[in-house]
Amino acid sequence: MLALVAMQILVAPANAVAQTAQPSVLSLDEALARALVEAPELTAADARIDASAQRIDGAARRLNPTLDFTSEGVLGTGDRNLFNEAEAAVGVMQPWERGGDREARSTLAERDRDLRVVEAEIARRDLMQQVELAYLDTQAERMRHAIAEDRIVSLEALAAIVDRRVQAARDPRMARDRIEARLAEARIEAGLARRRVATSATILASYWGGLPDFTVDTQSFLSPGDLGASPADRDTPEIALLRAQRARSDAEIGLETARAVPDANVGLELRHFQSSNDVALGVRFSIPLQVWNANQANIASARSEAAAIDADLAARERVVQRQVQALILRRQAAAGELAALEETVIPPLQTALEQAQTGFARGSFSFLEIYDVQQALIDARLRSVDALFAIHQSDIQLRRLTGGSPNMPQGMGDQ
């Protein structure tokens, strides 16, 4: 019993080390979560939102009053001096915003905040799209590397058969040289594929400043989801941004319209007469006369900006429709190619390869014939990976373009 316990104590750390040496499987949700937490651009966007919120509080406050002090007759001839005929006045003036400037300023500050919220959401979605594409690239490279390794296994099995046939003097020595050359090429391709996997994983890990000590899930790559029924019905993030800009433009029109009404200054003044030592209370009032400028140019400029945004919005909606249709057609073409490869190309090639391998062992087929069938099967599998990549890439771009994604919150317009 003591010996068994001692053996377990010695073996347990070795098993733990072996388990920790295996790279963990990183899911797409985990990659997105890590990237969002470590994104400096999102921190900057949140800071801009906070700054806009502070400006809302500042815009809602009234203008500060002014304290005026005047003194007359301080120096002069005769009795006109500080101790005889001088007068001093102290007044407090309060600006009176007559056209609703404060409400207009608050509305404009709120629209600025809304605009920053939409910009932050766009930055977040852009980052998520980049991470999704990087994750997809890593998946595709792993699949290509697996195909390259399978090719090596097939060629090694073929090389063993060729070697036996050469030793039995059934094939010339040149056949073994050819298969060895093809096997060397396959190993070179596998090495390049392995480096591409490492490169794509390093790029993916750079989004959160980590190390590529993980592997990605390839099962989701082999099982693409179905295309949504009506992806073009949702607003794109860029359209939401234009609508936020349009709302801000309306608020700016309201502010310029409010500024067209001149603001007045009202206040009280306390005046002291040195000659009689009397004190008098007065009322002060001032208002600008709109003789040369009634702020009509700024109002017209704000309305022109609003009209320009309306035109940009209409143009953007047309661009989105074209882009959505192009992505849908591209996805459908890739899905059709994938279905054709899986149904009419790859199964016959696999059957032909098995028959050629059996026939080659009996001497019915040559090395070049079996190699051609094997290469055709490898090319078909690589084409299927490319088709799957195009399907997933189209889905990612459609989700980003239309604003619909299981990883992205909805209701950006409400925000």
Q: What is the CATH number of domain 33-288+297-402?
A: 1.20.1600.10
pLDDT of residue 233: 47
Burial classification of residue 171, based on how many CB atoms lie within 10 Å of its CB (0-12 exposed, 13-18 middle, 19 or more buried): buried
DSSP letter for 343, please. Answer: I
> Are 402 and 393 spatial neighbours (Cβ–Cβ below 8 Å)?
no
Q: Please, what's the b/e burial string for 48-86 (b: 16 or more CB within 10 A of its CB; e: otherwise)? A: bbeebeebbeebeeeeeeeeeeeeebeeeeeeeeeeebb
344: which residues sit within 8 A by CB, 6+ positions away? none
In angstroms, the CA 412 to CA 32 distance is: 19
List the domain boundaries for the chain: 33-288+297-402
Predicted confidence pLDDT, tens digits, the chain (415 residues) = 444 334 444 444 444 434 445 678 999 999 999 999 989 999 999 999 999 999 999 988 888 999 988 877 665 555 555 556 677 889 999 998 888 889 999 999 999 999 999 999 999 999 999 999 999 999 999 999 999 999 999 888 888 877 877 777 776 778 788 888 889 999 999 999 999 999 999 999 999 999 999 999 999 999 887 765 444 445 688 899 999 999 999 999 999 999 899 989 899 988 877 777 888 888 888 888 888 888 899 999 999 999 999 999 999 999 999 999 999 999 999 999 999 999 999 999 988 888 877 776 666 667 677 888 888 999 999 999 999 999 999 999 998 888 664 444 333 333 3
pLDDT of residue 235: 67
Would you tell me how many other CB atoms lie within 10 Å of the CB of residue 93? 18
Q: Give DSSP secondary structure letters for 262-292.
A: PPEEEEEEEEEETTTTEEEEEEEEE----SS
In angstroms, the CA 297 to CA 291 distance is: 14
Residue the block writes with tokens 């404009």: 108
CA distances to 268, 283, 293, 294, 351 from 286, rounded to whole Å, are: 12, 10, 17, 17, 97
pLDDT of residue 394: 94
